[in-house]
Amino acid sequence: MGRELMTRRFPFLLPARQWQRKKCYYMGMRLDGSRYASRKEALFPYELAGAKSLLVNERTGMDIKYQYNKIHNLRLASEAVSRVVIHPGETFSLWWLARHADKRERYKDGLCVVCGKLTAVYGGGLCQLSNTLFWLFLHTPLTIVERHPHGVKEFPNPSPDDPSGVDATILEGWLDLRARNDTREPMQIELDQDETRYYGRILVPTAPERVYDVMNENLRYYKRDGKAYESVDVIRRTIRKETGEVLGRERLYTNVTEVGYEIEIGKV
């Protein structure tokens, strides 16, 4: 049996531990030799990738107020990231940009998975931001440096058409989303939201010759040791934009996650 964490035995120590962890985390980033993207510029004229998703997920099983709190939190964090340009040789880090997003206006309690349970916490709900960014990055030649899938999928996708296995969870001081630009062209992030949807785009300064299509294959559900799991292959195709010709096809990874909601395996 592993040694019990001190913060579980003495919960009052948790804020101090979180503060310490974040200080060490950002100090490590300053010393790791990477150049982190931070400069905002006027919007580039061409779109390389785009995404949109519903803001309110009514299928969480939790009080709907947390969905509206999430919308508030997303706005704050998105303002810190939107219009940032990832220049060649630079690395995008979500937390490097969003670490002070609540400095002038405080976050509200939103939903987050804590110790395997869906819980309302300060600043919760930002995984919709990291999920959107990761989905956009998959549609670009950016090199994914760090991505963490959710250990448990706590509720179904808001829409049956939404892809599976393309999520990216974050936790300040522990889990980040990072992507490095190993190309010769800068890429810019744009984020926005209206009353019902959340939008993201990757913009480039010149008209793209190639675009990318990401899809699911081999989606299946199974049980093991009394738990339900989802397994899905994430596939990317490279397409010549002018003609639609498929230039390449690759399986990026197979994503496996535990399903935390009720599901009938044989009927999926």
Helix, strand or coil for residue 153? strand
Is there a contact between 133 and 168 (Cβ–Cβ < 8 Å)? Answer: yes
- What integer pLDDT is reported at residue 60 of this predicted model? 64
Task: Fill in the amino acid letter for 224.
Answer: R
- What integer pLDDT is reported at residue 155 of this predicted model? 75
User: Quick one: CA torsion of 62, 66, 268, 137, rounded to 10 degrees?
Assistant: -160
End-to-end, the C-alpha distance of the chain in Å comes to: 37
Helix, strand or coil for residue 221? strand
Mean pLDDT by 10 residues, the chain (268 residues): 50 63 88 95 98 82 82 96 98 96 90 70 90 97 95 77 90 94 98 95 98 95 94 97 96 94 71
- Give CA–CA dist 25/75, Å, rounded: 24
Tokens 């559900």 — which residue? 221
- What integer pLDDT is reported at residue 44 of this predicted model? 98
